[in-house]
Chains A and B, each alone.
Chain A
Amino acid sequence: EAQVTQNPRYLITVTGKKLTVTCSQNMNHEYMSWYRQDPGLGLRQIYYSMNVEVTDKGDVPEGYKVSRKEKRNFPLILESPSPNQTSLYFCASSSSSSSYNEQFFGPGTRLTVL
């Protein structure tokens, strides 16, 4: 089944404890992206990647890192999480880097930083 998977689905952590949220897609998609979703703000793009070893900042990149060492994986790293990073996070992928493509989303990761 073609899908985007994220792990973990739920995570409660404490301020300053490094964490990684994994994202994987099995559709051989070139483009991958991370979003956070907060009440009343819709989804905001954190980082995106047009292909392996190519990443770029979205609208809210502060406090996050990403890497794209393999085409299928795009982990989101929070080196020192803070309470304002408590949010619902979505990973998405798209078949190519052309802007004329919809994105396929993972099921989401609910992160709480205490």
Chain B
Amino acid sequence: GESVGLHLPTLSVQEGDNSIINCAYSNSASDYFIWYKQESGKGPQFIIDIRSNMDKRQGQRVTVLLNKTVKHLSLQIAATQPGDSAVYFCAENGALGGGFKTIFGAGTRLFVKA
């Protein structure tokens, strides 16, 4: 499969534990934030999103927290499973001239030990 990077921060967790992946974003004008999951050989896939007027949003087994004061985003995965092993990217969308631009973080590799 495609290699997505050799120099990524790595988080290793035991199956069943909770995982927390952190991200610092860059643009204080960004108004929408997304977490993507990228498995080997595939393109990024949407997990969960949050608008800038919120500080927490929950999905199925995943929660995103947004702290605009320190420009920090986190992804919490409950009861982590082997299928969660992947690279996780945060992304920020900023409105620009009728459209938007997207900036991605460098990514974190999550490794789940069975």
Binding site for B on A (CB under 8 A): 4, 31, 33, 35, 37-45, 48, 50, 54, 56, 58-59, 88, 90, 92, 97-108, 110
Contacts and interface: CB of A to CB of B under 8 A. Distances in A.
A37 B41 CA distance: 13
A41 B106 contact: yes
B83 interface: no
Given A40-B106, A99-B94, A100-B51, A58 B101 contact: yes
A40 B45 contact: no
Contacts, number: 87
B46 A88 contact: no
A50 B6 contact: no
- For chain A, what secondary structure do more than half of its interface residues adopt (helix, strand, loop), or is it mixed? strand
Interface in B1-55: 2-8, 31-32, 34, 36, 41-46, 49, 51
Contacts of A107: 41-43
B32 A42 contact: no
A42 B106 contact: yes
Given A41-B106, A42-B89, A97 B99 contact: yes
A31 B4 contact: no
A56 B102 contact: no
